[in-house]
Structure 1
Amino acid sequence: MKKKTIYSIITLATLAFGTFSILLSPTASAVSSNVTNVTKNTGSEHTPTYKTASIKSFKIIRTNKPLKIYQKASTKSNVMDSIKNGQGVVVLKKYSNGWSKISLQFNAGFIQTKYLSSVKTNRKTNFAMNTQKTYSYYSPENKGSGFKTYYKATFKHLYAANKTLTNFWYFNSEPDAIGRMEFETSKGLYVGYKDIGIATLAIEYPVKRNNSWKGLDGQILKIVETNKVVKTKAGIYKNVVVVKEGKGKNYSYYAPQIGLIKQIFNGRTINELTSIK
């Protein structure tokens, strides 16, 4: 997985897990499959095979001003990045000296532990992807490019080639794969990309139409639909939540007990679900 620029709905995102905290990069590879176009049962009931990513190591930042992330466990060390109140990180290790090591930019950074807050599990309808399944997506915008139009997403607890990368979705979008993290809390679904390491709200809970919040770069995200019927190559989904980002025609579609099923950027579909196995 190489570091790369990810296209977010609003801007060239830093880790689309950056901005369209929800947005996938319009790159892809994969495996096409024949899918019957049937209506999916997307109610709030849970199934034995449904599981979301563990939030045990996921922490939320609590600070009154942007917080610096350092290269070493010292305020005299080089600053790698900064993070704002309400954004999230993955903690790799907590030290007794008041510092915590976090996953950042395909590497690790350090942040003062006193600014980290634990999160509670979501007990209602889930909108995160099922870590027990393999998702396949289609990206029509990749036609004619060096990237393929079909690709798979599988969940990994640990990336063998880089042990700072834990609990993330591996989008096999060759020639440049993407690491996308999702953490579902009682406050909402947080999303980010591993080449940045910072997660922001993709959907705020409880889900209510017209609820709005700020994204990674200050853009406004807003829930514009809560019970939309959406057709994809994988089928027809009901009770879909639609999140708009910024001022343009940029949307992400989430089906309950399924997760991300479609994204639109500047009014054009950049990816949609083709199958779940």
Structure 2
Amino acid sequence: MKNKSILSKTLIATLAIGTALSFFTPVNNAAAENVTNVTKVTNSKHTPTYKTASISNFKLIRANKTVKIYEKSSTKSNILDSIKNGQGVVVLKKFNNGWSKVSLQYGTGYIPTKYLYSPKTNSNTHYAMNTRNTYSYFSPENRGSGFSTYYKANFKNKYSANKTLTDFWYFNSEPDANGRMEYETSKGLYSGYKDIGIATLAIKYPVKLNSSWKGLDGQTLKIVATNKTVKTKAGLFKKVVVVQDGQGKNFSYYAPQIGLIKQTFNGKTYTELSAID
């Protein structure tokens, strides 16, 4: 389940949780408790509200060893997965017996609460996607395949058929629709896929050229540009941060106050932002 980096070319297992993708519940804009308000500073009289996913239930691991995630709240139960120091999970419930139930692989798992801590909110430049918007992306690799070359990403507060899926981005890309969680903290922007349930740094804060860290699969991620101008179908973006994933020509591009605008694999664009609504 964990053989999937931030730039996974195979692009994420389908959200097949016993029901069709089209049955996703629409975003509930009234659920204000699920978002964090951020004010975008502009030179105009209008200062639009910018929202990112709330980090209230997002916890990071603090441990000098790999922490096991169990099927039940007992070290004698089956081991479902493991998580490393600095990675994150979504806590569904904290118990008085020293265990916390977390969202994991479209289901749940249990971690000793002593290894979890709450990160601080980022108060500097934001590179997370704005949960108020709908993002449209273009995937050139789908040309001639019978699948659509355009798809959308919408923020979902919850998925009614599976209560373990909360506060995530639904990318309805073909043929591999996927659910991605994104949490911005003072330590950086964390990202991960719901079919795994573990989030890893996508961008390390503060943003510094040549800053590096380890990804989910142990690969090195590195900031290779902090002030790049990038053109996509959605327009021209400035001061873009570029993160290299591994040793190849695999890159993710993040625009300030916008979020993910482009990704490449082996030097070829396989997704880019085409519009924001």
Q: TM-score range by the shorter chain?
A: 0.7 to 0.9
1:141-180 matched pairs, under 5 angstroms: 141-180=141-180
Partner of 2:5: 19
- Deviation per residue, 1:83-139 (Å, 9 max, x gap): 001000000000000000000000011110000011000000000000000000011
Q: Please report the TM-score for the alignment, with normalisation by the length of structure 1.
A: 0.85
Is residue 187 of structure 2 the alignment partner of residue 187 of structure 1?
yes
Letter aligned with residue 263 of structure 2: Q
- Aligned equivalents of 2:117 and 2:98: distance in 1? 14
CA positional deviation for 1:252? 0.4
Q: 5+ unaligned residues in a row in structure 1: which ranges?
A: 6-12, 29-43
Q: Partner of 1:72 in structure 2?
A: 72
Residue in 1 aligned with 2:105? 105
Q: CA RMSD in A?
A: 2.1
Kindly indicate whether the alpha-carbon contact (under 8 Å) linking 1:181 and 1:193 is maintained by their aligned counterparts in 2. Answer: yes
1:16-64 per-position Cα deviation (integer Å, ceiling 9, x unaligned): xx41268892899xxxxxxxxxxxxxxx737433100000000000111
Aligned partners of 1:215 and 1:190: how far apart in 2? 10
Which of 40, 45, 49 is 2:41 aligned to?
45
Report 1:117-266 matches (<5 A): 117-266=117-266
Higher relative contact order (Cα pairs below 8 Å, separated by 6+ residues): 1
The 1:27–1:94 alpha-carbon spacing in structure 2 relative to 1, beyond 3 Å, is closer
Distance 1:58 1:146 in 2: 38
- The unaligned stretches of length 5 or more in structure 2 are 15-39
* Alpha carbons 1:156, 1:168 under 8 Å: kept: yes
Tell me: CA distance 1:266–1:176, structure 2 relative to 1, closer, same or farther (3 Å): closer
Flag the 1:24–1:234 CA change in 2: closer, same or farther, 3 A: farther
1-structure distance, mates of 2:146, 2:161: 25
Q: Give the whole-Å Cα distance in 2 for the aligned partners of 1:76 and 1:146.
A: 48
Instruction: Give yes or no for contact 1:66–1:85 (8 Å, CA) kept in 2.
Output: yes
Contact 1:204 1:211 (8 Å CA) reproduced: yes
Aligned equivalents of 2:13 and 2:82: distance in 1? 27
Q: Contact (CA 8 Å) 2:7, 2:252: kept in 1 or not? A: no
SS at match of 2:218: coil
CA distance in 1, matches of 2:142, 2:77: 41
Structure 1 pair 218–267 and aligned structure 2 pair: CA distance change class (3 A): same
Partner of 2:94: 94
SS of the aligned residue for 2:92 comes to: strand
TM-superposed CA distance for 1:174, in Å, is 4.3
- Specify the code of the residue in structure 1 equivalent to 2:85: N
1:71, 1:109 within 8 Å by CA — same for their partners in 2? yes
CA distance in 2, matches of 1:189, 1:65: 23
- Cα distance in structure 2, aligned partners of 1:26 and 1:146: 19
> Which residue number corresponds to residue 271 of structure 1?
271
Contact kept? 2:12, 2:177, Cα under 8 Å: no
Change (3 A) 1:21 1:102: farther
Q: How many residues align?
A: 249
In the alignment, is the contact (CA less than 8 A) between 1:155 and 1:167 conserved in 2? yes
Q: Is the 8 A contact 2:7 2:251 kept in 1?
A: no
Amino acid at match of 2:49: T
Q: Distance in 2 between matches of 1:171 and 1:190?
A: 17
TM-score by length of 2: 0.85
3-state SS of paired residue (2:128): coil
- List structure 1 segments (4+ residues) > 3 angstroms apart after TM superposition: 21-24
Corresponding position of 1:82: 82
Q: 1: CA distance between counterparts of 2:63 and 2:143?
A: 44
| 2:154 aligned counterpart, secondary structure | strand
Q: Distance in 2 between matches of 1:258 and 1:231?
A: 14
